[in-house]
Structure 1
Amino acid sequence: MRNYIILASATALAACGGAGPQSAGSVGAPSSGGSGSTGTFVNPTETKTYDAIGGAQHFAYKTRDDGQTQYGELYAGDANTPRDGGITVAYNPRDAIFEVTVNRPLASVSTGTNRFQDPAHRVDFGGLSQPQADVPQLPAAANIQYLQAGSSSGPVISGGDPNHYVVGNDTFTSQVQTFFYQKPGTTTQYVTYAGYVRNTLGVVKQTDPVTKGTYLENSYSLDRAVFAYGERSDNSVVPKTGSASFTGDMLATMVFNPLIDTDPLASTYFQWITGSQTTTVDFAKLSVSSAFNGTVSAAALDAYTNGNYVLPGGTTFTAHGSATIDLVGKGGFTGTIGDAKFTTPGGKDYVVSIAGSSLDGAFFGPAAQEIGGGFRIVGGTPDQRIDILGAYTGKK
């Protein structure tokens, strides 16, 4: 299985990640909306705390080694607005310490403060020490830095597969947190995107009251978050006339299970979407229009379910949304997603019936030359579990 350094606290965890030596310029400084005087995002000089825009998800359920389906399921998701807090990133460049919090009660996610500071927790893909299951391995050009910490105890049946959660034996417990972010300056100078994965697992041997046989019961509690943070623009520098186009990156986490009503073994798995976005802003009309394009990654599988899911790796994703700028009232722009669709490698389309959605963002940089934000798409078809939460960045 993967190697994790045992820590004294489950809520104040130490780690500092990324591949190779990490200078001030190779770690992401948090951004405006927080404490500390103005510094530079790419090369931070002062400790700052940044309010992030994005969303969080939580999925808890159980499996057993004599069955093929999930049970006791509870899912929740939530997205914040530019002025609605709950997701923060703090960075201390002197000591290379990150502190990350994701506290979104409507998503049933409350991480406390995750403190990443130990150089031994700097990880990348490959070898014995690497990001845990369901942390997306993005292309090298994306320049993603990974920080991870956690602890585990008890016997293991199998582990070490990045596409499969650890399979534990009786009394096994594990909780591991991973924070990952794009190194500032890679594609944007004043805003970046990031993700958070927390996997909690407990295994207990149970006795079936009917058959009197024993089985291993696996309890999963899985948290995901994706968000954008950086140095937000002062309202005074945001143009009031003209228009501009912002292009950049997009990252999303989702659950997509449309088979609950048709397949008794249908299970729900988290999947990531990576891609790009283009946003057009008409400053005079206070209007925002965004288009998202991405590719779905394969799911990480749990123990004992059948592993079948609808959207294979390589499925494409498209969505379009619109928003209205309200700098004084909202601190940026807010709106909705109008349409979303997936197309599998075999050419089958899945059009999402949208029950609820959001598109949120803000301007970043001393001249509002960049944008960042989040979006959410909640499926509305009965007996389906579909929820997509994303973050994006862009520059003129």
Structure 2
Amino acid sequence: MRLLILLASTTMLAACGGAGPQSAGSAAPSGSGGTNGSGGTHTFVNPTEPKTYKAVGASHSYKYSVEDSGDILRDTGGNPVLDGAGDTIPTQRSLRQTGQGNQLYQGDATTVRNTNLTIAYNPRDAIFDVSFSNALAGTSAASRFQDPLHRTDFGGQVEPQIGTPNLGSGPWNIAGINYLESGTAANVTFSQPVVSAPTEFVFDLIDRSKVGSYNSTTFFYQTPGTDTQFVTFAGYLRNQASVSYAGTTALTTQTNTLERGAFAYGELTVNDKVPTSGTGSFTGTMLASMVFNDQPDVNGNFDTYFQWIAGQATTNVNFGTNTFALALDGTVGAPFLDGTSGQHSVLEGARFQANGAGDINLVMAGGFFGQFNEAWFTNPLGGRLDLNISGSSIDGAFYGPKGQEIGGSYRIVGGTPDERIDILGTFVGKGN
């Protein structure tokens, strides 16, 4: 059960999940050690010194507003009931009667060498400093997670904020996922009762004479050593809302700025240690954030929602010919609703598949790069949705002393007019 208490004063939205991560990893396997260039021993799985990692990944943002006309509270005689400030009082929220307006969507996928996504970890104090800032994607989150209460998990009365994917449960069941969260809220509360988990990102003002706000960032990652030893995947979400109320018209406006991202980070392989002959197959996890709205030209619905996708990535590499092929196979999560229409074409539980290929160029790209040639969804009850791909990218690198593992980012942009389709994500894998 989720329990949120948002006070009129600024309140930290941090949660303690009990057995949270005490370090970036777990016990180091034998033979996985190395040096970090400063003369000290350092391993990715069991870090001993502070280190900053550059991440390859993708992120996007969506800013828009919704207006709630609300029904005015009236007494038994049909007269409006006024609050202490002399304003009418709206009753049950009716955001479903309106749509998303003033929309601004942006997205970007970084390359191995052209990235400003960073994850810094200090094992002495268990502090994470994470920067997701990317002007091309419209993202600006930069967070420090240092309070032990920033660690959270699913289950119990306090859970990660709405919109966070529960990767540790089915259909995904990915092991070793850790969640860190911090944020603030002022003069707002979820419009749904707090005795059950909110299903929509909709707020009510506590004091209608004041503007309300919400701003919370969640960072999640797989513990290094769970599936891979030298690279891991991570994701983040930032939900922001500003809520205001025009008393004379009983009009409430909520302006949302939502950010999502997924990326890989770890110990990069030195170029001359990457194999130059033979083949390799790498399997691991894929994670993606998606916006999908193919309805504007069909029924005039412009409401767009974020959805998470997670599953398996398989990368086949031919080191002799410097080529690779990538296959993604994931399951789609529920949409992140906000009280508007709720209409969406890709249903929770849909299967996502995509195939792409490209080249290895360590000198020019620092790894490998390519594009997708096909991608599609299969909804739970049948029905295949093929993507018209306008643009796509795959960017990755090798990790470990001898290129034993890989990690990278990808993006698929829809090309059909009057649709908003964008899938951005990351993948990791270890050699079989």
Scaled by the length of structure 1, the TM-score of the pair is 0.91
Partner AA of 1:2 in structure 2: L
Indicate if the aligned counterparts of 2:6 and 2:188 stay in contact, CA closer than 8 A.
no
Indicate if the aligned counterparts of 1:14 and 1:118 stay in contact, CA closer than 8 A.
no
Q: Select 2:49's aligned residue among 38, 41, 46.
A: 46
The percent of aligned pairs where both chains have the same amino acid is 44
What is the CA distance between 1:262 and its match in structure 2? 1.8
Distance 1:7 1:354, change over 3 A: farther
1:2 aligns with 2:32: no
Secondary structure of the residue that 1:45 maps to in structure 2?
coil
Secondary structure of the residue that 2:382 maps to in structure 1?
coil
What is the CA distance between 1:136 and its match in structure 2? 0.3
Give the whole-Å Cα distance in 2 for the aligned partners of 1:276 and 1:202: 37
Indicate the residue corresponding to 2:242 in structure 1.
Answer: 202
Distance 1:118 1:6, change over 3 A: farther
Render the CA deviation track for 1:253-306: whole Å, top value 9, x for unaligned: 000000011223341000000100110000010001000000000112113x02
- Listed as ranges, the matches of 1:268-283 within 5 Å are 268-283=304-319
Indicate the residue corresponding to 1:261 in structure 2.
Answer: 297
Indicate the residue corresponding to 2:68 in structure 1.
Answer: 65
1:392 aligns with 2:393: no
Indicate if the aligned counterparts of 1:255 and 1:386 stay in contact, CA closer than 8 A.
yes
Partner AA of 2:42 in structure 1: G
1:154 aligns with 2:187: yes
Secondary structure of the residue that 2:159 maps to in structure 1?
coil
Q: Select 1:137's aligned residue among 147, 163, 166.
A: 166
Larger Rg: 2
Indicate if the aligned counterparts of 2:9 and 2:187 stay in contact, CA closer than 8 A.
no
Indicate if the aligned counterparts of 1:266 and 1:308 stay in contact, CA closer than 8 A.
no
Indicate the residue corresponding to 1:97 in structure 2.
Answer: 127
Indicate the residue corresponding to 1:86 in structure 2.
Answer: 116
Q: Select 1:164's aligned residue among 200, 203, 213.
A: 200
What is the CA distance between 1:85 and its match in structure 2? 1.5
Distance 1:264 1:172, change over 3 A: same
What is the CA distance between 1:26 and its match in structure 2? 4.0
Give the whole-Å Cα distance in 1 for the aligned partners of 2:379 and 2:330: 12
Q: Select 2:393's aligned residue among 355, 358, 373.
A: 358
Indicate the residue corresponding to 2:138 in structure 1.
Answer: 108
What is the CA distance between 1:308 and its match in structure 2? 1.6
What is the CA distance between 1:162 and its match in structure 2? 5.3
Indicate the residue corresponding to 1:233 in structure 2.
Answer: 269
Partner AA of 2:338 in structure 1: D
Q: Select 1:119's aligned residue among 118, 141, 148.
A: 148
What is the CA distance between 1:24 and its match in structure 2? 3.0
Give the whole-Å Cα distance in 2 for the aligned partners of 1:78 and 1:21: 31
- Listed as ranges, the matches of 1:289-368 within 5 Å are 289-303=325-339, 305-368=340-403
What is the CA distance between 1:65 and its match in structure 2? 1.5
Render the CA deviation track for 1:189-214: whole Å, top value 9, x for unaligned: 1110000100000111137xxxx733
Render the CA deviation track for 1:314-337: whole Å, top value 9, x for unaligned: 100000111211111111111111
Indicate if the aligned counterparts of 2:188 and 2:214 stay in contact, CA closer than 8 A.
no
Indicate if the aligned counterparts of 1:162 and 1:300 stay in contact, CA closer than 8 A.
no
Indicate the residue corresponding to 2:21 in structure 1.
Answer: 22
Render the CA deviation track for 1:192-239: whole Å, top value 9, x for unaligned: 0000100000111137xxxx7331111000001100001111111100
Secondary structure of the residue that 1:382 maps to in structure 2?
coil
Partner AA of 1:158 in structure 2: Q
Secondary structure of the residue that 2:347 maps to in structure 1?
coil
Which blocks of at least 5 consecutive residues in structure 2 are unaligned? 29-33, 70-96
Indicate the residue corresponding to 2:59 in structure 1.
Answer: 56
Deviates more, 1:132-141 or 1:85-94: 132-141
Distance 1:252 1:338, change over 3 A: same
Secondary structure of the residue that 1:110 maps to in structure 2?
coil
Give the whole-Å Cα distance in 2 for the aligned partners of 1:180 and 1:333: 26
Distance 1:18 1:388, change over 3 A: farther
Render the CA deviation track for 1:26-51: whole Å, top value 9, x for unaligned: 4799xx9x986661111100100001
Indicate if the aligned counterparts of 1:342 and 1:351 stay in contact, CA closer than 8 A.
yes
Partner AA of 1:155 in structure 2: V
Q: Cα RMSD between the aligned structures?
A: 2.6
Distance 1:159 1:90, change over 3 A: farther
Indicate the residue corresponding to 1:248 in structure 2.
Answer: 284
Q: What is the number of residues matched between the two proteins?
A: 384
Indicate the residue corresponding to 2:231 in structure 1.
Answer: 191
Scaled by the length of structure 2, the TM-score of the pair is 0.83
Which blocks of at least 5 consecutive residues in structure 1 are unaligned? none
What is the CA distance between 1:166 and its match in structure 2? 4.3
Indicate if the aligned counterparts of 2:21 and 2:151 stay in contact, CA closer than 8 A.
no
